[in-house]
Amino acid sequence: MAATVETSGIAPVGRRALRAFLRNPTAIVGSLFLAFVAMLSLMAPWLYPEDPLSMVARPFLWPGQNPAFPLGTDSLGRDVTAGLVWGGRISLAVGLAATCLGVSFGIVVGSTAGYFGGRIDNLLVRLIEIFQTLPSFLLLVVLVAIAQPTIETVTFAIAIVTWPTVARLVRAEFRTLRERDFVTAARALGFGHIRIVMLEILPNALPPIIVTASVLVATAILMESALSFLGLSDPNLVSWGSMIGSSRELLRSAWYLSAIPGIAIVCTVLSINLIGDALNDALNPRSPGIE
Amino acid sequence: MASPLLDVRGLSVRFPTGSPVIDFGFHIEQGETVAVVGESGSGKSLTALAIMGLLPRRAAATGTIAFRGVDLLALPEKERRAIRGRQVAMVFQEPMTSLNPVMTVGRQIGEVLRRHEGLSSAAARARAIELLDLVRVADPHLRVDDYPHRLSGGMRQRVVIAIAVACRPSLLVADEPTTALDVTIQAQILDLLDRLRRDLAMALILITHDLGIVGQWADRVVVMYAGRKAEEASPHELLAHPVHPYTRGLLAASPRLSAGANYRQGPLEEIPGTIASAAGEPGCPFVPRCDLVQPSCRVAPPPLVELGGGRLVACPIAAVPEAVHAS
Amino acid sequence: MLLETHDLHVRFSTQNGALHAVDGVSLGVGRGESVGLVGESGCGKSTLAKAVLRLLPVAAGRVLFDGQDVGTLSARDLQPLRRRMQIVFQDPFGSLNPRHTVESILTAPLVVHGLGDRQERRRRVEEIVGQVGLSSSALSRYPHEFSGGQRQRIGIARALILKPDLVICDEPVSALDLSIQAQILNLLVGMKRALGLSYLFISHDLSVVRFISDRVLVMYLGRIVESAAGDDLWQAPLHPYTRALMQAVPDPARRRQAPALSGDLPSPENVPPGCRFHPRCPLATEICRRQDPAFRELRPQHAVACHHAEA
């Protein structure tokens, strides 16, 4: 009898995806840059133990003028390098936390709607639509303005404007996956709803969620920067956006003050998007990256 | 004797990962129906694509595919395109995906006529209605403006066939044309293909896995296994006296309605293992599943032995008359 | 009877109104019996299977499993019955979760039903894998590493691991190659003998149904149109649809003969009045257009819904 198992030697999906991801040069570039930014941010308390808001030198030192302050100082004599490192901390923390919150909530709402369907689905879809029809940045500004700009409220507000994207995606995935035979089999075997959702369907819906989440981190960083630029951020913390915001009147005289944090934002967002693209290729079973 | 309409010799299809068709050959005369029978992985569909010149880019085909004496594999793509669709046409298995969902049936049929025969839109539409009538679609003047999703599976396959025969090809390649259809519809479609073959004087290559279809509709049968020809015979000979162990196993393993097998009378005969089990071995690909293996089988694939009456078998037991008659 | 349905109706709502996928089906499957259900696409055979397992809501009628009304049980009371009726699917690719190993696929049902401890579960999983003809090295692998036939063995193992009484086989060999079909059919017969199973075997392939069944039901557009035990159906079919189905099976004896049945399958959204087969029926007369024929027993254990079955 056919007890022979074809040994095609294909690794499980996750490991296969990782290998495909690591073969992608843009993924490597993106990951390396992001790792560099993350490392600097994590080491900020050791690299620049002093508060980045304290005035440490003569104002308007241009980059390269004084080797102690490689990226110069701003109009109040604050170290731009220190600001950049500490600001990266805020940008990444807000980006990651807001995405985690938004994705978690989006998964809960989207999977409930997609799995149960019917009236629950109708209700939740209306809710999603309400949030999606509101202009998201305006909503964000209003939320932060009402709730006082602290790092927590900014994070929370960004999560509130991003979850509907995730919910929509998860709902669509669940709606197709719940019709698959292996889910029917699970129901016929008497599996509970939570088990089916968590162990049968969700693992199969993860690839697109991961890809979307990576892009959402970039979006969240941009949102945080935009809020800070408008002054809607914690006044006691430096972020890339607030650095640009506070120097926007000096754009003609000291353009480096806006350009340096601007470049940091662009490069970070770009590297995250590169990672997202590579993840999409690696996790998408139809892409030629994996057989 | 005149050369056959299509003569395939020594055809191999190679992919970077392996060769799904190896040294395969057969021929077909004008107006004839030849069935190519095999399971998935036998290379039968790739053979069809090679004849059509529709192999994926990664694949390389060697050998000769002579159509009216001209080797298609040696032709430049431009000249092949002129033959494809016009003199040689194909019907695919899945009528749903071989039609364009956003174009009406009439436009899709007309498109072929406009491209190959330069008909005007009005003339193409009139011909499309005629063709729908030819493939026995009821109310063709109404159906011509329908989109594919409005039609049933059987109707869609009729439309696909109408597109294929629009330019009156002399060879039609039908790759599992009824596998996706219901039993009663399958019979209608096979009948239609046979009628078109007769009325349009076409030759028909019927690619199938169903030995019953072969017996009812083919003039000659070629059995493929793992990319090679295992046996070739008339359907009557093949079904009554199969010689190759694979053909014999296949016939024994399929419960036939007329034979009336029931589980209470005992199990079906089985061919053990799967088609993939001999990949990479030098000898006959059927060795791991065969119960008549001889030492020579493991060394090299057995050559085709001619048994008379156009019958070919790639197995050393064919040379032993008792073995042939015992079956 | 282990399984009975009484006048079962299943409806779907579509844009054009209600669709009667199953329209008054009464059937029974006895203990240890293998009942074949034949029909073409759209006849409602898979819907019937899912309604019996309460994977779809029943619009009217009853499903009795071992005397208990499956339709009215609470989710909690249904759980012990779930253990006793299982399903094997057609598509060996879609019916196994690609993210789980074979071991996790087979262990999960035991965990859900609280059967055995870790060691006992492992023992049962190894036992069933051996019974369906796979080696225990298969346990750590993922479904995509197997061929279609092997996957179908895994699907059968999953259905049997809870030691059910009834297994609904929904076209279990239709997606398989001919040489693999025989292996799986023999496996199903072997498991039936070994575990004393009852089958409701759904297929469009008459040869396969003839092989595996003790009794056969023929379904057309949501209804059972003929039912007969043993060879009676094959020797002397009474319904013109059954005859047409049998004649549509390709047969070398009918070389190049035109098919018996013309016309397309009607959609279940648009069921013809009177006898639902009359637009395609060679015997149809006036009464067939007006009156729905009753399902009546014409010979012992052989019932048919046709006005002209005596003819």
| Domain residue spans of chain A | 39-44+79-283
Task: Tell me the per-residue pLDDT of B139-165, one tens digit each, with 9 for 90 and over.
Answer: 999 999 999 988 888 899 999 999 999
**Residue pair B165/B171 in contact by the 8 Å Cβ criterion:** no
| Domain residue spans of chain B | 97-166, 241-326
CA distance A203 to chain C (A): 7
Relative to beta strand C166-170, strand C85-88 is parallel
Residue A3 is predicted with a pLDDT of: 33
Q: Which residues contact B163 (CB under 8 A, 6 or more apart)?
A: B89, B108, B109, B112
Complex-level ipTM beyond the 0.90 threshold: no
User: Using the beta-carbon criterion (under 8 Å), do C179 and B253 form an inter-chain contact?
Assistant: yes
Per-residue pLDDT tens listing for chain A (291 residues): 333 333 333 345 567 778 878 888 888 999 999 999 999 888 888 888 888 887 777 788 788 788 888 888 888 888 888 888 898 888 899 999 999 999 999 999 999 999 999 999 999 999 999 998 888 888 888 888 888 888 889 999 999 999 999 999 999 999 999 999 999 999 999 999 999 999 999 989 988 898 899 889 989 998 988 888 888 888 888 889 888 888 888 888 888 888 899 999 999 999 998 888 888 777 765 444 333
Measured from the Cβ of residue B251, the count of other Cβ atoms closer than 10 Å reads 17
Note whether B40 contacts A: Cβ–Cβ < 8 A. no
Residue A242 is predicted with a pLDDT of: 86
Of all residues in chain C, the one with the smallest CA distance to A15 is C99
Which tokens is C41 given? 């696409």
Structural domains of chain C sorted by starting position, each given as residue range(s) with its CATH number in brackets: 3-220 (3.40.50.300), 240-311 (no CATH)
Mean pLDDT computed over B83-91: 92
* Stronger pLDDT, B177 or C270, i.e. the higher one: B177
Residue C230 is predicted with a pLDDT of: 80
Residue C77 is predicted with a pLDDT of: 92
Residue B69 is predicted with a pLDDT of: 92
Residue B279 is predicted with a pLDDT of: 66
Question: B-chain residues within 8 Å CB-CB of A1?
Answer: 272
Mean pLDDT computed over B234-239: 92
Residue C275's pLDDT band (cuts 50, 70, 90): very high
Residue A58 is predicted with a pLDDT of: 79
CATH of A39-44+79-283, one of 3.30.750.24, 1.10.1040.10, 1.10.3720.10, 3.40.50.2300: 1.10.3720.10
Mean pLDDT computed over C280-297: 93
Residue C290 is predicted with a pLDDT of: 93
Residue B323 is predicted with a pLDDT of: 54
Note whether A2 contacts B: Cβ–Cβ < 8 A. yes
* A289 Cα distance to chain centroid: 24
Residue A17 is predicted with a pLDDT of: 76
Which tokens is C292 given? 């729905």
**Residue pair A94/A105 in contact by the 8 Å Cβ criterion:** no
B281 pLDDT above the threshold of 80: no
CA distance A184 to chain B (A): 23
Which tokens is B128 given? 């499309």
Mean pLDDT computed over B270-299: 85
User: Using the beta-carbon criterion (under 8 Å), do A4 and B277 form an inter-chain contact?
Assistant: yes
Residue A286 is predicted with a pLDDT of: 45
Mean pLDDT computed over C46-56: 94
Residue C296 is predicted with a pLDDT of: 93
User: Using the beta-carbon criterion (under 8 Å), do C248 and B184 form an inter-chain contact?
Assistant: yes
Lowest average pLDDT, out of B129-143, B192-206, C243-257, goes to C243-257
Q: Give the chains touching C; criterion: ≥3 Cβ pairs < 8 Å.
A: A, B
**Which of B108-117, B274-283, C194-203: highest mean pLDDT?**
C194-203
Residue A64 one-letter amino acid: G
User: Using the beta-carbon criterion (under 8 Å), do A4 and B272 form an inter-chain contact?
Assistant: no
Residue B105 is predicted with a pLDDT of: 94
Q: Give the chains touching B; criterion: ≥3 Cβ pairs < 8 Å.
A: A, C
* Stronger pLDDT, C218 or A135, i.e. the higher one: C218
Residue B15 is predicted with a pLDDT of: 92
Secondary element (H or E) of residue C179: helix C178-195
- Give the dihedral sign, CA B103/B106/B108/B113: negative
Residue A7 is predicted with a pLDDT of: 33
C104 pLDDT above the threshold of 80: yes
Residue A230 is predicted with a pLDDT of: 87
User: How many degrees, rounded to 5, is the angle at CA A109 between CA A105 and CA A115?
Assistant: 140
* Stronger pLDDT, A284 or C240, i.e. the higher one: C240
Which tokens is B73 given? 């594999």
Q: Write the DSSP string, A125-182.
A: HHHHHHHHHS-HHHHHHHHHHHT---HHHHHHHHHHHHHHHHHHHHHHHHHHHTTSHH
Task: Tell me the per-residue pLDDT of C243-257, one tens digit each, with 9 for 90 and over.
Answer: 999 988 888 888 888
Percent of chain C at pLDDT exceeding 90? 78
Partner residue opposite A5 with nearest CB, options C55, C79, C146: C146
CA distance C57 to chain B (A): 27
Residue A287 is predicted with a pLDDT of: 42
Percent of chain B at pLDDT exceeding 90? 64
Strand order in the sheet with B70-71: B18-28, B6-15, B60-67, B70-71
**Residue pair B24/B228 in contact by the 8 Å Cβ criterion:** yes
Question: A-chain residues within 8 Å CB-CB of B274?
Answer: 2, 4, 6
- Dihedral through CA B82, CA B86, CA B88, CA B90, nearest 10? 110
Q: Write the DSSP string, B75-107.
A: S-HHHHHHHBTTTEEEE-S-TTTTS-TTS-HHH
A224, A266, A216, A218: which is closest to A245 by C-alpha? A224
B1 pLDDT above the threshold of 80: no
What 3-state DSSP class applies to B302?
A: coil
Residue A290 is predicted with a pLDDT of: 34
A251, A265, A236, A263: which is closest to A53 by C-alpha? A236
Which residue reads 């069809």 in tokens?
B48
